Chain A
């Protein structure tokens, strides 16, 4: 394990023994990255902040279930991504419930313009066209700099699945940005 990973294990142990400051130190070490992942997944700053908060609440509540065989950060970022999936599902369900029949689709550009992530608007819109599972591969590998194996551990899927998702997600992103004409194969089809 790396020095950071060793520190994390020590901090978790201290926290479980009742040292709450240890958890605060863990938060300080990881909160920016958790927020970064959430921002890229959710697009919206408020939603990302909610995800960050829920992630740390989950990790706090389930700290006794952390198994030190995997790095704490791997577990933390897995919880982050799963929390993003959950919030996105809830958003989708909420939208479905709220939109009556025959209602025009919402203007994607207006609702969260003030809270939008600091991305080029076209890139931001293109990213949101990609399914959350595929987007997560891009966020972890291309934006957070994880290796394919680290991303696979974080997403709890085989490395081959991450490769497949990453490849297709990038291809769809390029197509959305007008830099690629996709062939018959659709980027959102099931993992190979």
Chain B
């Protein structure tokens, strides 16, 4: 069966043909057992799909979603502003993020031992939220609150917001644990890359063509450790197709892990270098 036959069947199944066109197509399909068989399959699948009920969020799910977004997007105008500022100074954002994570970690060490149960979880969530403020932007908070739905939903939103706060705390605890967890043994062999400077790799690897820099040497990296670090870095939150491209020596003699990823929003590929031991992003291609 060729593409024309496939398109004919798709058009027939989707009722996109009318009048003479449809009649001619039906006749052609009726005369060919294979096409008839294919059309029946398409129609049976579509009929099955039509039995599916519409999907809707429940009241609780909607409340949870809104509350959790209100909590996480509370910094709305600053975050947009920060994204614009980051383009002019790419070195400050990772440092601010690192400082924020350190502040949270230190804060949690100081505060958590003196608390218990839910109090501790809520506090950790608040610490993370406060640190995110620092990381996103250092300007004062002038953002208006998001307002979803009407006032009647307020109570359920507040209830959901409480749950969301706990979830955030749990997530932050997991992230901290993952970032400091020992290797789990998922070893991956990657090329050792040679370049005069990591910046050179960034500028040359927009399309992930690292071949020119690959040496005959290979290095074993702990894949799980790298991905745990990636998961802990907010700069890489909205990315997909992440892969470890190699390891390179930095200008200070340390080693950096070069990763590639795709920005979910734009679909554009990027390259970044990580200091996995410190779990810090050194730089990323623009």
Contacts and interface: CB of A to CB of B under 8 A. Distances in A.
Interface of A: 15-16, 18, 20-21, 23-24, 27-28, 31-32, 35-36, 39-40, 45, 49, 52-54, 56-65, 75, 78-79, 82-83, 85-86, 89, 93, 97, 117-120, 123, 126, 138, 142-143, 148, 156, 160, 163-164, 166-167, 169-171, 173-175, 177, 179-180, 183, 192
A118 B240 contact: no
Interface residues on B, range: 35 or more
B52 A143 contact: yes
A120 B48 contact: yes
Contacts of A52: 57, 65
Contacts of A36: 54-56
B117 interface: no
Contacts of A169: 45
Given A21-B147, A49-B61, A57 B238 contact: yes
A170 B3 contact: no
Looking at chain B's contact residues, the main secondary structure is helix
Given A21-B146, A21-B147, A164-B6, A62 B238 contact: yes
Nearest to B6: A167
Contacts of B286: none
10 contacts: A35-B55, A40-B55, A49-B65, A53-B68, A59-B265, A143-B52, A174-B44, A174-B48, A175-B41, A180-B37
Identify the interface centre among A45, A59, A61, A117: most chain B CB within 10 Å of its CB: A61
B144 to A, nearest CB: 5
Nearest to A36: B55
Contacts of B34: 183
A61 B42 contact: no
Contact of B42 (A45, A117, A118, A170): A170
Interface string B45-86: 110110111111100011011101100110011011001100
A75 B267 CA distance: 11
A61 B238 contact: yes
A71 to B, nearest CB: 15
Enumerate the 5 nearest inter-chain pairs by beta-carbon distance, A residue then B residue, closest first: A62-B265, A180-B41, A170-B45, A174-B41, A179-B44
B156 to A, nearest CB: 15
